[in-house]
Amino acid sequence: MNNELTKQIFSLIKLNNKLIAVESPLQERLRLLTNLACECQRLDINCYLWTLEDDQIHQLVVNQETLALQTVDQYQAIAKNRREHYFEILRFWKTTDLQGILILEGIFPWLGESNTDPDFFLTSEWIKSALINLKLYNYKANKTTILLGPNASLSSDIAPEVPTLIQQLPTIEEISTYLPQVLPDSSQVKIHAIAIASVGMHLADIDSGIQQAIAPEITPDELIKKLSAYKIDLLRRVYNIEFLQPPTISVGGLELMQEAFRRYKRLLTSLAQAYNLRLPKGILLIGPPGTGKSYSAKACSQQLGLPLIILEWGSFRSYGNLAEYKLKNLFALVDRINHIILYLDDFDKGFAGDDDLSKRLAGMLLTWMQERKSEVLIIASANNIEWLPPELTRSGRFDEIFKVDLPNYGERHEIFTLHLARFDTRFHNGGDAYSEDEWKRLLKATQRCVGAEIGAIVERAAISCFCQMFPDDVLSVSELPPLEITLSALLAARQSMNPLAIREADKVESMRNIATLQGQPSSPIDSSIYSLGNVDIFG
């Protein structure tokens, strides 16, 4: 909460720190400024605010918990006559008789790592020099300068001179303490559940979510549901991630991996923790595209009952200079939510360029994985493990590596029945409509198809059978006849598709071979009735 951040700021001031950097999100700005102004009034200290937007100084005053801004004419008179530099505020604060705390908002872009533009570079160097001189000149004066912004990134030459405070996301306990101030009386009984639904948001975001959700006679459960939906949308917009509650899905095959997931669930118990047992640092899923790596992450979420954050690791490269800032905030979010699964999709694509940015992001990930204390399970998927830095794949980072291969005969049977049950009621509740010989014919025809391709084959066949049932445009029928998918429709759909493992046989086989060397199998040896078994080539 901002109250805690305010305490940290004044602790640094008491230690005679004249320059302090504070990273705080924009939505929390009003609350932070109000808290700072209140504390200054309590200590009889003047508090001023300068913003880049209007180049004016305002004194912050709180009347009945409402923040007011009073223009400081002394600066306006000087600044009006001295416009040779836009950051005249730095000269003014160094020599003025005014004392107290000056908050500079919007100055961080000039304090980061060097820019290639000459004008920007010269301005940046001037500002850094002016800040250091400000610190030295006012060392014995009752003046403190606070640099405020949403991204407090400081270059290496000035970072040692400026202690940095970062406003953290509120904890469940802090949210629970705050919620009674904004919740209707009817929802007070489920404060803890509402707090859990709110974890991962700042207080201002929680305010907005509750205000949008509250309606006459809304129940606490409905409020939780709407607040969760608001959070999911917010996380998608702010962090570019997908946040999923544990899904209800069925998985075909990959039994060894599923057994590992069930074992992880036991490691979450207090009994396992009493023996100092923990979840793996990370799990790496490797294999050709479409074999079910993303689906496996959702299956793990279901098995463990933990929410799932899906992140395309390669997307961070598009942020450029902001990539490290974005990643740092994401790690803070994951740590705060705590019991969660972080799934890094297409992990290898983030390292395809092998440039400095990729190496820095990898370093941040390694440091976080090594030092974090939160109960977060990291799952990453990769098609080309050779693109990953070797230090990422050693034990202690990704403790378990699973090879997710092309499905065998028995697994393809399971995958087919799962997809067929979506359209054909004959396959509900373990039902079947094909003979053993028909299944063997279908499974042989789809020998190198992955799960995603099997799903597409079933859907194409379902469309074909539907069009045969209703050859003309029929708007409605009095009684809906069942849709029965025929074997011939499935075989025809297969013939219209050229699987990836056949189109790109060399690449896929290379991926499979490397995955075999690096990972443990995620599927047992096929023991189903559809298995080809051991073939004796000597007859």
Among all chains, which residue has been given the structure tokens 């023991």?
527
Q: What is the DSSP string of 164-205?
A: EEE-PPPPHHHHHHHGGGTS-GGGGGGHHHHHHHHTTS-HHH
* Integer CA distances (angstroms), 390 to 246, 351, 366, 401, in order: 32, 12, 12, 13
Residue 254 carries which DSSP code? -
Dihedrals phi, psi of 164, to nearest 5 degrees: -115, 130
Spatial distance between the Cα atoms of 349 and 370, rounded to a whole number of angstroms:
22
Spatial distance between the Cα atoms of 487 and 64, rounded to a whole number of angstroms:
76
> By the 8 A CB rule, do 294 and 331 touch?
no
Q: What is the pTM of this model?
A: 0.85
Name the 3-class secondary structure at 435: coil
* 262, containing H or E segment: helix 255-267
CA-nearest of 353, 363, 354, 347 to 314 is: 347
> By the 8 A CB rule, do 139 and 155 touch?
no
Name the 3-class secondary structure at 50: strand
The amino acid at residue 125 is: E
* Integer CA distances (angstroms), 351 to 292, 343, 345, 380, 456, in order: 22, 16, 13, 13, 30
Residue 140: CB atoms within 10 A of its CB come to 8
* Integer CA distances (angstroms), 49 to 26, 128, 221, 495, in order: 15, 19, 42, 70
Residue 445: CB atoms within 10 A of its CB come to 14
Spatial distance between the Cα atoms of 334 and 168, rounded to a whole number of angstroms:
12
CA-nearest of 453, 445, 361 to 406 is: 453
CA–CA–CA angle 419, 420, 423 (5° rounding): 105
Spatial distance between the Cα atoms of 221 and 231, rounded to a whole number of angstroms:
15
Phi-psi bin for 106: left (phi > 0), alpha (psi -120 to 50), beta? left
Which domains does the chain carry? 2-166 (3.40.50), 172-239 (no CATH), 255-403 (3.40.50.300), 409-471+481-521 (1.10.8)
Give the pLDDT of the chain (539 residues) as one tens digit per residue: 458 899 999 999 999 999 999 999 999 999 999 999 999 999 999 999 999 888 889 999 998 888 999 988 888 777 666 555 678 889 889 889 899 999 999 899 999 877 778 888 888 999 999 999 988 888 888 999 999 999 998 998 899 999 999 999 999 999 999 999 888 776 677 899 999 999 999 999 999 999 998 887 788 889 999 999 999 999 999 988 999 999 888 888 889 999 999 999 999 889 998 999 988 888 999 999 989 899 999 999 999 999 999 998 888 778 877 888 889 999 999 999 988 999 999 888 887 766 788 888 888 888 898 888 888 999 999 988 888 888 777 777 788 999 999 999 999 999 999 999 999 999 998 899 999 999 999 999 999 999 999 999 999 999 999 999 887 776 666 778 899 999 999 999 999 999 999 999 999 999 999 889 888 999 999 888 988 764 443 33
> By the 8 A CB rule, do 395 and 517 touch?
no
Spatial distance between the Cα atoms of 114 and 106, rounded to a whole number of angstroms:
17
Residue 444: CB atoms within 10 A of its CB come to 12
